[in-house]
Amino acid sequence: MTKRLVQGNEAVLLGAVKAGANYFAGYPISPSSEILAQASVYASKNPDFRFLQAEDEIASVNAILGASLAGAKSFTATSGPGFSLMQEAVGYGHKVGIPCVIVNVMRVGPGTGMPTMPGQGDLNQTRYGSSGDYTSIVFYPSTVAECFEYAVAAFNAAEESRSPVILLSDAFLGHLNEVVDLDAIEVSVVPRTLEPLASGSTRLFSGVATYADGEPATADSDEYIRQYEESRLNRLDVASRYNCFEYGWNKDSDTLVVAFGITRRIAQPLSPHFALFRPIRIWPTLDKELIEVAERYKKIVVIEGSDGQYANVVERMLFRRVERVPLLGGRMSLEAIREGLDRIGLLPIEPLESGAGSPAQADGSASAVG
């Protein structure tokens, strides 16, 4: 039982190792590069853990797909631009059915953007980044302890769904240092589910639409629909074992704040004035859970590091307009949130006596697992 200072990115790596990861391929990109560097150090001390700094993100993501087929629990880590490069492979992983984890420590985009500034603008990319239809499972922690816990969850969900699961983080959370006792965090690990290559069968792992025997099914819509439905229902079924969210703060308030990742931490001083719904599983959306909570509130405000990517999703989930506080250009601070709330007339009037609005402990995790 050792409490020590742990960095968010470090916790992701340690969580991966705890989950049994034994192959990492990656490419340096701020603000995720600590994961690459620490994976390299870990590999030098643990010969069964294989490490590759590949020539680019495309090689990295394809390498982890190959490594997984060969029998390894594999992962990579990147940020927005690198994640964009990986999209074709994400779709391939879904189509073929390959368990692996992709960590995206988000920064401000688009393009090369602001490499060291926090953003949350990749949400849609994690759901729709690749071409075609597929069902992503995506987690986004808010604390260093959760970075560890949800890294394990991501590997577990990857095994259960046989798909590339995305673990989100951001420039602030990745570099946040908190005192945690990782050994005290109870996790269970799902063992490898996919039979490794060359076990005696002659399977064809094909990105192209095929029948079970390997013949191309590139003109058979019925076969496509059959395979797609099976995959979609499987993903939703796996996701339903991870109904991870937080509902808290002042539940008697008449306004619900929806916030996630580092934003939830930054907004903590506002907790006396608002209720909070924090999705930890970003995709598939927590429709049932949010609908039930949202019913109780006259107003809903989504505070996020993008121009309304999750706000749009919430509106679709609830068929109801929401207020928005976008935190753009990396300006993710309590002051920016207060300015945003003020602009829409939701800035709480602080009582004169002390206590309200003081920075509360960022204990974060009240993750209610359904």
Partner 1 sequence: MAVKDKLKTDLFPTIWCPGCGIGLIMQQLASVMDDLGLDKKNTVLITGIGCTGRMGAYMNFESVYTLHGRTLPVAEAIKTVRPELNVIVVSGDGDMSSIGGNHLLHSIRRNPNITVLCNNNEIYGLTGGQTGPTTPQGIATISSPSGSAFAPINLQGVVNTSPNSYYAKTTVYHQGPMRKAIKEAIEWPGFAFVDIASQCIENNGRRIGFSSANDMLQNYRTQYKAAPAGSTQLDSHQLGIVKGEPATVVGKSTAGSGE
**Cβ neighbours, 10 Å, residue 365:** 16
Check residue 85 for interaction with partner 1 (CB under 8 A). no
Exactly one of 6, 16, 89, 117 binds partner 1 (CB under 8 A); that residue is: 89
CB of 153 to partner 1, least distance (A): 23
Q: Angle at CA 289, nearest 5°, toward 333 and 340?
A: 25
Residue 228 is given by DSSP the state H
Q: Which residue number, 205 or 228, has a Cβ lying nearer to partner 1?
A: 205
Q: Angle at CA 138, nearest 5°, toward 251 and 74?
A: 140
Q: Which residue number, 66 or 269, has a Cβ lying nearer to partner 1?
A: 66
CB of 163 to partner 1, least distance (A): 16
CB of 302 to partner 1, least distance (A): 35
Exactly one of 12, 17, 18, 23 binds partner 1 (CB under 8 A); that residue is: 23
Check residue 88 for interaction with partner 1 (CB under 8 A). yes
Check residue 169 for interaction with partner 1 (CB under 8 A). no
How far CA 124 is from CA of 83, 95, 166, 333, in Å, comes to: 12, 19, 12, 23
- Do β-strands 4-7 and 177-180 pair in parallel, antiparallel, or remain unpaired? antiparallel
CB of 211 to partner 1, least distance (A): 10
CB of 368 to partner 1, least distance (A): 38
CB of 258 to partner 1, least distance (A): 36
Sequence-separated (6 or more) residues with CB below 8 Å from residue 145: 11, 178, 180, 182, 185, 364, 365
CB of 76 to partner 1, least distance (A): 11
Residues 29-68 that bind partner 1 (CB under 8 A): 50, 52, 54-56, 58-60, 62-67
Between CA 259 and CA 364 the distance in angstroms is 12
Q: Which residue number, 74 or 156, has a Cβ lying nearer to partner 1?
A: 74
Q: Which residue number, 23 or 274, has a Cβ lying nearer to partner 1?
A: 23
Q: Which residue number, 216 or 351, has a Cβ lying nearer to partner 1?
A: 216
Strand partners, 246: 278
Give the CA-trace dihedral at 142, 144, 148, 151, to 10 degrees: 40
Between CA 47 and CA 38 the distance in angstroms is 14
Q: Is the peptide bond before 118 cis (omega within 30 degrees of 0)?
A: no
Residues 180-239 that bind partner 1 (CB under 8 A): 196-208, 210, 213-216
Q: Which residue number, 20 or 207, has a Cβ lying nearer to partner 1?
A: 207
Q: Which residue number, 95 or 338, has a Cβ lying nearer to partner 1?
A: 95
**Helical spans, DSSP H, in 46-143:** 57-70, 80-85, 87-96, 123-128
Exactly one of 29, 35, 69, 101 binds partner 1 (CB under 8 A); that residue is: 69
Check residue 296 for interaction with partner 1 (CB under 8 A). no
Exactly one of 12, 19, 35, 72 binds partner 1 (CB under 8 A); that residue is: 72
- The size of the interface with partner 1 (CB under 8 A), counted in residues, is 42
Tokens encoding 61:
């993501």
Between CA 99 and CA 89 the distance in angstroms is 12
Q: Which residue number, 54 or 347, has a Cβ lying nearer to partner 1?
A: 54
Q: Which residue number, 55 or 252, has a Cβ lying nearer to partner 1?
A: 55
The single residue listed with the structure tokens 């908190």 is 178
7 and 150 Cβ atoms separated by less than 8 Å: no
Pick the closest to residue 40 from 28, 50, 29, 55 (CA basis).
Answer: 50
Interface with partner 1 (CB under 8 A): 23, 25, 50, 52, 54-56, 58-60, 62-67, 69-72, 74, 88-89, 92, 196-208, 210, 213-216
